[in-house]
Structure 1
Amino acid sequence: MSESFSTEDINAVYKAIAQRRDIRHFIPGPIDEALLARLLTAAHHAPSVGMMQPWRFIRIRRQELRDAIHRLVDEERQHTAEALGERGDEFMRLKVEGIRECGELLVVALMDRREPHIFGRRTLPDMDLASVACAIQNIWLASRAEGLGMGWVSLFDPDRLARLLGIPPGGKPVAILCLGHVERFYPRPMLELEGWAEPRRLDDLVSEDRWPVDETPRG
C-alpha cells in the first residue's frame, strides 16, 4: 500500500503551487550547500520521457562568468524591446532578471546526443524539453517551500551561451535560473502587478472533447 499524504501535506503542496512566483528581486547572500543539494535532488526526481533524464545543471561560480552572462541577457533585453515596437519602452522599465544579486546562478541545458532516445520522442521530439521543464518546476516549488526565491530567465542567445559555457554540439541551454534569499514574495505575479498582462481564467482554457469553438480559426 502506497504511503498516503496527510491533509497538512496536501495543503502544503497546493500552497507552494499557488504561492510560487517568478522572482526578480533578491537579497544578496549565499545559499547553504545542503539546501542547494536538496533543490537539485528535487529537480532530479522529475519525470522524464523514456527515463532519459535530459537535464544538465551548470553552477556559475566565477564572477566574471556571471558578468558575461548578464551582458548576454542585457543585449537580448535590448533586442526584445526593439521587437516589441510601441511597448518597447514599457518593457525596458520592467526588471526582468536578478543575475547580479541572486545567491546562486544555474544554467539548465538539454543534454547532447539525444537522437538515440526515441522512447516517447519518435513523433514528439520536444518531449525532452518538456522533461527539463518538469525538473525546473520541481526546483521552483521546492525553493518556494524552502523560503527561497527563483527566477527563470529566458532572454539570451542559446548559441552564444552554449559557446560561453563549453556546451558540446547537440546540447542546448534552455534556462538561466536565479536562486536566492528574498525580502518578500510578490503577492501576485510581477507582470500582473506591473500592469504588463492579466492572467486568463481557467474556464477559458478548458474544453471538452474538441478545441474550443470560439478559438477555431475561421476561413
Structure 2
Amino acid sequence: MIIYLATNNKHKLEEINEIKPKGFQIKGMFEILKNFEVNEDGKTFIENSIKKAIETGRVLRAPVIADDSGLEIDILNGFPGVYSARFMENKTYIEKMKYILKKLENVPYEKRSARFVCSATYYNPKNNTLFSVEGEIKGYISYSILGKQGFGYDPIFIPEGETLTFGQLGQDAKNKISHRKHAFNKLFSLLLNIPKLEIIS
C-alpha cells in the first residue's frame, strides 16, 4: 500500500518509515513533485497538517499523509510553536537554537519546560476521506546545544525522564518515544482499522 508523505524533508521521511508498521510503503512527495510547496499559514499544527495533506493529495491524486510539528516552550508562551521551521527564515537550526538559548539565559532548569507537538493527517482525494490525530512529548530545554544526531531542535530538547537531548540519544531512541511516534502510531492504527479498499480506492 503506497501512501505519499507531504514533505520535502528527507529526514522526516526516514523517521516516519522507521515508525510505520508492515504493509505500508511511504514515499516522499518530492519523488514526483519538484519544487512543490504548501503555504503553511495555519494558526495551529492541525490546520497546517490538514492543508498540506489536502493540497498535496489533490495534486498527486493519491492518498497522502502529512504532519506539522514544532517545539513549544512554556516560559516563552509556546514560542516558536507553528513557526518552529519558519522563524529566522534562511538561518540554520544552529542559529535558531542559539537564539532560543539566549532568550532562556539564566532561566533555571525547572522553568525550561517544553514539548514537541506533532499533528498528523491522512487524506484520500479519491473518496474524500480525511482524519487527523495529535501526539506530543514533554521535556526541557538544555543549557547548550548537545549532540549531533537527529535534526531540527533535537540537540536542545531533553525528554522527560532522560538526562540527554534527542541529539545525544540518537534516532533509534527518539523513534520509540517522540511526538511523531505518538501521532503516527495513532494515525496508522486508524488506517489499519479501515477496510483496505476504502484507503486506496
TM-score (norm 2): 0.26
- The structure with the greater share of residues assigned to strand is 2
TM-score (norm 1): 0.24
Q: Which one has more relative contact order, counting CA pairs under 8 Å at least 6 apart? A: 1
